[in-house]
């Protein structure tokens, strides 16, 4: 062990600090507590190395107060604070009041002297501004540094490298923004410049570890790290694959041929195994894991400590809920895939469950290696194979679709101005917060405290339909039940961002201080909007919206471009979509630093206004509106002229772009909102909100449901319904009788519901899936939030049993027939008119007779 500790010195601990480089991407930023300066990490794509650059400009942490320097000098807690450096009088623009103000900048020697400890300077002052911004971010904003962009370094001075983009492209973009203000044009050009820069290849490796556990189904606690690490796999972008195994007594080799060319490395001691792992980790600029923050790297670190490695020599830094590398960057894919915005908008909900198996199965069509035996009983080869697959999957997730994931991270970093490791660990509201902070610093605006905002802008005037919500949201138009042939769906392209742009919404423009603006009312609210200045968020969100709609989305579909170019434009438009979709919501989110419910409320109110006015206009033109939700209206057999007319009207009267989104051969509605299906001219089907589609629906019912949909997708006209009816009847009848005869397996009957919180957090009620989960827990299985509980309905006991613990005779068939009935009623109700007139059948029970 002593010699190993000695050899720890061989492991590269930090990136090299060099005086010059030609081109490297800014990827990381942190505060160097030892040297007391900001430290930046740059990635050189040529040499595939990380460089360190420490600030030498003398930049220091600070915050602001409204006290004058003289008043402050009376406060000895501040002036005599050991971290106090100096005071400086500054003028800042207060956008809430639309006037300049004098502030005193309190400069400190280190970030913790400003805030973060009980005796920090901000604790001795009643009011401080900008004292809660993390130092490394504050540094980036002040230096106007943008992560994700290439820089050069000469004699210790870095410079942004901007690759000129073609004069032609520049002209075209300018052309698109001809009708906009100069300010808007500037923003559009700046964004494009930022987004079009090359994204390099990132040299990276993925890591996965396996740990011995004496208890089956129990993952050892990474804080304690009580048991040995028995296997480590590392796979990199150059194609190298390694598996490191710990020799243990009584373990067989197994058939190594299943590993192909790979030769596992065997280690006699765990210390050597961990040493080699740490050495390998420090070889790569980027290390990818799947849940490494919570498990793999945390376990490695704590295990290393436990084995006697000195903390300061281990090339890992452990945080409250993250583990970072001292040399490279740690990208935890679990954190990124967990991000709702990424899940929904970047990957269109292709994966639902947040496990490596589920995510890779959904995105790569390849899952983890199934194992039947407990971990401790696997032979070396089986263990190696299993562990290797996890690393391979993790790396593949970052490489698929031409490195989509790495590109997304880079682009988000550029827009939000945050380091890569924060992109992966933080949510969209933090990204937008960062972008807003950057803009404030650049403009010399003081960043308002949330108290400042709520003082003037905290009011809402509408009442939400849902109890407990803060204001009224979108409207859903009551559907006209029945089958409608020839339906056109029109929608507003990014409705809320369009509204924010068009109506100048921003925290400083809503309820602004000028009396003459009070006339400029938002329909449906008592709020008014500024007529003097363009709002910051209106400008930022507006320019991003226009770029996405007018440039990136169009180019992503431009057949004149190579598929590679199109793909790039598509990644950019996806990234913009993530930001835009959250841009309205954040203003209604309390934890957002620019929380401004009046902005959110006004946005929603204008959305209702737009849809209501459009509906009125459609009806004026003689078109029947059969449904609508938030930003869309469904039209019954409109003519080309009528559509054209309505689109024109919207552009002229609302200033917003209404588009034809889709067209259905027919669409079927019941009386339920958010619940319909539509058949496209090519026979494919759009299903919205129907029970049969939901992920908790048992397989047997889902299958019957999709069989029915198949039949209905073939219906071309009213006349076809008669034959379709017979087929549908057969399908449902078959399902019903098979159920009655108990011929479905338990798996077919299982209901799958996700556990939303820890079992003990269910204090108000005990839903069925929780009852089932409690039975699993009793049986000794680990159950945690995010797990999908599979259970069947039973006659005995609690009325439910986990599939794993149930027997066929336990099943409550009656309960399942209710389920069948309610699922198909959603469809039958829509067909009521046609079916009903012929047979008088509306309810399933009658239908089956």
Partner DNA sequence: GCGGACTGCTTACCT
Partner DNA sequence: ACAGGTAAGCAGTCCGCG
Task: Give the footprint of DNA on residues 485-524 (CB under 7 A).
Answer: 491
Hey, which bits of 75-190 come out as E strands?
Answer: 84-94, 99-108, 150-154, 157-160
Q: What are the tokens at 448? A: 């308002």
Sign of CA dihedral 445, 446, 452, 454: positive
Nearer to DNA, 233 or 697 (CB): 697
- 206 neighbors 194 (Cβ within 8 angstroms): no
Instruction: Report d(CA 194, CA 183) in Å as an integer.
Output: 17
DSSP characters for 387-453? HHHHHHHHHHHHHHHHHHHHHHHHHHHHHHT--HHHHHHS-HHHHHHHHHHHHHHHHTBPPPPHHHH
Listed ranges 185-193, 290-298, 380-388, 581-589: which one lies at the site for DNA (CB under 7 A): 581-589
Nearer to DNA, 25 or 618 (CB): 618
Q: Candidates 815, 817, 842, 848: give the one binding DNA (CB under 7 A).
A: 815
Q: Is 844 near DNA (CB under 7 A)?
A: no
CB of 788 to DNA, least distance (A): 7
- 531 neighbors 509 (Cβ within 8 angstroms): no
CB of 475 to DNA, least distance (A): 7
Nearer to DNA, 167 or 466 (CB): 466
CB of 448 to DNA, least distance (A): 18
CB of 139 to DNA, least distance (A): 22
Element (H, E) at 195: helix 182-195
Instruction: Report d(CA 20, CA 32) in Å as an integer.
Output: 20
Residues 413-452 that bind DNA (CB under 7 A): 426-430
Residue 457's contacts (CB-CB under 8 Å, 6 or more residues apart) are 96, 507, 510, 511, 596, 597, 598, 599
CB of 743 to DNA, least distance (A): 21
CB of 649 to DNA, least distance (A): 20
Instruction: Report d(CA 79, CA 72) in Å as an integer.
Output: 7
Q: Is 768 near DNA (CB under 7 A)?
A: yes
Nearer to DNA, 87 or 409 (CB): 409
CB of 761 to DNA, least distance (A): 7
3-state SS assignment for residue 246:
strand
Q: Candidates 152, 696, 781, 842: give the one binding DNA (CB under 7 A).
A: 696
Q: What are the tokens at 45? A: 């794509």
CB of 771 to DNA, least distance (A): 6
Q: Is 134 near DNA (CB under 7 A)?
A: no
Q: Candidates 104, 398, 525, 632: give the one binding DNA (CB under 7 A).
A: 632
Count of residues in contact with DNA, rule CB under 7 A: 77
Count of CA atoms in the C-beta half-sphere (13 A) of 826: 22
Q: Candidates 139, 592, 669, 721: give the one binding DNA (CB under 7 A).
A: 592
Residue 43's contacts (CB-CB under 8 Å, 6 or more residues apart) are 24, 25, 27, 49, 50, 51, 200, 202, 285, 286
Q: Is 788 near DNA (CB under 7 A)?
A: yes
Q: Candidates 122, 242, 793, 801: give the one binding DNA (CB under 7 A).
A: 793
CB of 611 to DNA, least distance (A): 10
Nearer to DNA, 513 or 756 (CB): 756
Q: Is 464 near DNA (CB under 7 A)?
A: yes
Nearer to DNA, 59 or 821 (CB): 821
Nearer to DNA, 286 or 592 (CB): 592
Helices (H), 243-376: 270-281, 296-306, 333-338, 340-341, 356-364
- 624 neighbors 615 (Cβ within 8 angstroms): no
Residues 77-106 that bind DNA (CB under 7 A): none
Nearer to DNA, 325 or 582 (CB): 582
Q: Which residue in this structure is represented by tokens 């047979």?
A: 839
Instruction: Report d(CA 409, CA 336) in Å as an integer.
Output: 9
Q: Candidates 376, 396, 615, 675: give the one binding DNA (CB under 7 A).
A: 675
Nearer to DNA, 614 or 691 (CB): 691
Residues 322-341 that bind DNA (CB under 7 A): 338-341
Q: Candidates 51, 584, 666, 828: give the one binding DNA (CB under 7 A).
A: 584
CB of 822 to DNA, least distance (A): 3
Q: Is 132 near DNA (CB under 7 A)?
A: no
Helices 182-195, 380-416: inter-axial angle, 10-degree rounding: 160
CB of 469 to DNA, least distance (A): 4
Q: Is 765 near DNA (CB under 7 A)?
A: yes
Listed ranges 63-71, 366-374, 466-474, 834-842: which one lies at the site for DNA (CB under 7 A): 466-474
Nearer to DNA, 192 or 826 (CB): 826
Q: Is 465 near DNA (CB under 7 A)?
A: yes
Distances (CA, A) of 182 to 29, 327, 340: 33, 44, 35
Helices (H), 100-166: 111-114, 135-142
Q: Is 113 near DNA (CB under 7 A)?
A: no
- 100 neighbors 91 (Cβ within 8 angstroms): yes
CB of 752 to DNA, least distance (A): 7
Residue 336's contacts (CB-CB under 8 Å, 6 or more residues apart) are 342, 405, 409, 423, 424
Q: Is 236 near DNA (CB under 7 A)?
A: no
Nearer to DNA, 475 or 536 (CB): 475
Q: Candidates 5, 262, 647, 687: give the one binding DNA (CB under 7 A).
A: 687
- 544 neighbors 191 (Cβ within 8 angstroms): yes
Instruction: Report d(CA 617, CA 752) in Å as an integer.
Output: 45
CB of 72 to DNA, least distance (A): 31
Q: Candidates 766, 779, 839, 843: give the one binding DNA (CB under 7 A).
A: 766
Instruction: Report d(CA 78, CA 59) in Å as an integer.
Output: 20
CB of 175 to DNA, least distance (A): 30
Instruction: Report d(CA 424, CA 410) in Å as an integer.
Output: 10
Nearer to DNA, 225 or 596 (CB): 596
Q: Candidates 311, 557, 695, 843: give the one binding DNA (CB under 7 A).
A: 695
- 627 neighbors 669 (Cβ within 8 angstroms): yes
- 164 neighbors 198 (Cβ within 8 angstroms): no
Q: Is 631 near DNA (CB under 7 A)?
A: yes
Distances (CA, A) of 104 to 57, 129, 130, 749: 21, 10, 12, 68
Buried b (16+ CB within 10 A) or exposed e, 19-32: eebeebbbbbbbbe
- 210 neighbors 231 (Cβ within 8 angstroms): yes
Q: Is 769 near DNA (CB under 7 A)?
A: yes
Site string for DNA, 719-758 (x = CB under 7 A): ---------------------------------xxxxxx-
CB of 78 to DNA, least distance (A): 28
Listed ranges 84-92, 461-469, 504-512, 526-534: which one lies at the site for DNA (CB under 7 A): 461-469
Q: What are the tokens at 306? A: 């436990």
Site string for DNA, 655-674 (x = CB under 7 A): ----------------xxxx
Nearer to DNA, 64 or 847 (CB): 847
CB of 338 to DNA, least distance (A): 7
Count of CA atoms in the C-beta half-sphere (13 A) of 260: 7
Q: Is 588 near DNA (CB under 7 A)?
A: yes
Longest Cα–Cα distance in the chain: 91
Listed ranges 26-34, 58-66, 160-168, 760-768: which one lies at the site for DNA (CB under 7 A): 760-768
Q: Is 241 near DNA (CB under 7 A)?
A: no
Listed ranges 77-85, 376-384, 532-540, 763-771: which one lies at the site for DNA (CB under 7 A): 763-771
Q: How many CB atoms within 10 Å of residue 104?
A: 18
């Amino acid at each position: 062990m002593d010699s190993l500790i000695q050899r720890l010195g061989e492991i590269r601990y930090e990136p090299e600090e060099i005086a010059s480089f030609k081109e490297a991407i800014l990827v990381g930023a942190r505060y160097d507590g030892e040297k007391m300066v900001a430290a930046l990490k740059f990635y050189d794509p040529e040499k595939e190395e990380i460089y360190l650059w420490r600030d030498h400009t003398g930049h220091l942490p600070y915050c602001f107060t409204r006290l004058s320097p003289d008043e402050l000098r009376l406060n000895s807690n501040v002036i005599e604070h050991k971290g106090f450096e100096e005071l400086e009088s500054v003028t800042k623009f207060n956008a809430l009041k639309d006037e300049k103000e004098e502030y005193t900048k309190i400069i400190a020697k280190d970030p913790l002297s400003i805030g973060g400890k009980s005796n920090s300077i901000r604790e001795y002052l009643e009011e401080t501004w900008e004292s809660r911004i993390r130092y490394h971010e504050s540094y980036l904003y002040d230096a106007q540094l943008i992560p994700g962009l290439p820089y050069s370094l000469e004699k210790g001075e870095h410079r942004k490298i901007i690759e000129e983009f073609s004069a032609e492209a520049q002209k075209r973009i300018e052309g698109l923004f001809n009708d906009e203000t100069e300010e808007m044009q500037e923003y559009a050009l700046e964004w494009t410049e930022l987004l079009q820069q090359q994204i390099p290849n990132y040299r990276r490796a993925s890591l996965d570890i396996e740990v011995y556990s004496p208890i089956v189904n129990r993952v050892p606690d990474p804080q304690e790290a009580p048991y040995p690490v028995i296997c480590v796999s590392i796979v990199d972008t150059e194609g190298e694959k390694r598996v490191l195994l710990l020799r243990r007594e009584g373990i067989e080799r197994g058939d190594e041929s299943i590993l192909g060319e790979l030769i596992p490395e065997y280690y006699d001691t765990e210390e050597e195994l961990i040493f080699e792992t740490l050495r390998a980790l420090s070889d790569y600029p980027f290390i990818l894991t799947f849940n490494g923050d919570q498990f793999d790297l945390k376990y490695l670190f704590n295990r290393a400590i436990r084995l006697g490695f000195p903390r300061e020599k281990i090339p890992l830094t452990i945080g409250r809920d993250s583990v970072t590398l001292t040399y490279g960057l740690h990208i935890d894919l679990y954190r990124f895939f967990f991000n709702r915005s990424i899940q929904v908008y970047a990957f269109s909900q292709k994966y639902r469950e947040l496990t490596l198996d589920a995510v890779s199965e959904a995105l790569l069509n390849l899952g983890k290696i199934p194992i039947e035996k407990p971990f401790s009983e696997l032979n070396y080869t089986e263990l190696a194979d299993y562990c290797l697959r996890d690393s391979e999957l993790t790396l593949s997730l970052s490489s698929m679709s031409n490195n989509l994931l790495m590109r997304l991270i880079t682009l988000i970093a550029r827009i939000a101005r945050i380091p890569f490791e924060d992109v992966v660990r933080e949510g969209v509201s933090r990204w937008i917060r960062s972008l807003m902070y950057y803009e404030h610093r650049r403009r010399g605006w003081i960043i308002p405290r949330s108290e400042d905002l709520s003082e003037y802008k905290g009011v809402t005037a509408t009442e939400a339909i849902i109890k407990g919500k803060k204001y009224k949201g979108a409207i859903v138009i009551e559907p006209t039940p029945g089958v409608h042939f020839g339906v056109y769906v029109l929608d507003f392209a990014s409705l809320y961002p369009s509204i924010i742009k068009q109506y100048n919404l921003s925290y400083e423009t809503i309820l602004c201080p000028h009396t003459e603006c009070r006339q400029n009312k938002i329909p449906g609210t008592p709020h008014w909007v500024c007529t003097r200045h363009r709002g910051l968020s209106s400008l930022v969100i507006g320019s991003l919206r226009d770029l996405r709609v007018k440039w990136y989305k169009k180019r992503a579909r431009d057949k004149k471009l190579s598929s590679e170019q199109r793909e790039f434009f598509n990644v950019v438009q996806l990234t913009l979509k993530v930001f835009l979709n959250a841009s309205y919501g954040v203003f209604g989110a309390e934890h957002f630093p620019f929380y401004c419910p009046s902005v959110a409320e006004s946005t929603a109110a204008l959305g209702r206004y737009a849809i209501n006015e459009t509906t009125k206009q459609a009806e004026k033109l003689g078109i029947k509106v059969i449904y609508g939700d938030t930003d869309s209206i469904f039209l019954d057999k409109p003519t080309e002229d009528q559509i054209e007319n309505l689109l024109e009207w919207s552009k002229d009267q609302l200033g917003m772009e209404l588009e034809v989104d889709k067209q259905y051969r027919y669409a079927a509605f019941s009386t339920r909102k958010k619940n319909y299906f539509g058949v496209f001219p090519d026979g494919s089907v759009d299903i919205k909100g129907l029970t049969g589609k939901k992920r908790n629906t048992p397989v047997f019912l889902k299958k019957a449901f999709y069989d029915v949909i198949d039949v209905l997708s073939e219906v071309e006209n009213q006349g076809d319904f008669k034959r379709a009816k017979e087929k549908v009847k057969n399908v449902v009848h078959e399902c019903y009788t098979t159920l009655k005869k108990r011929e479905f397996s338990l798996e077919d009957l299982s209901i799958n519901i996700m556990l939303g919180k820890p079992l003990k957090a269910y204090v108000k009620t005990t839903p069925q899936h929780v009852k089932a989960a409690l039975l699993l827990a009793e049986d000794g299985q680990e159950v945690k939030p995010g797990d999908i509980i599979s259970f069947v309905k039973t006659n005995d006991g609690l009325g439910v049993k986990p599939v794993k613990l149930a027997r066929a005779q336990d099943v409550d068939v009656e309960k399942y027939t209710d389920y069948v009935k309610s699922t198909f009623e959603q469809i039958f109700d829509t067909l009521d008119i046609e079916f009903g007139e012929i047979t008088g059948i509306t309810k399933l029970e009658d239908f089956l007779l």
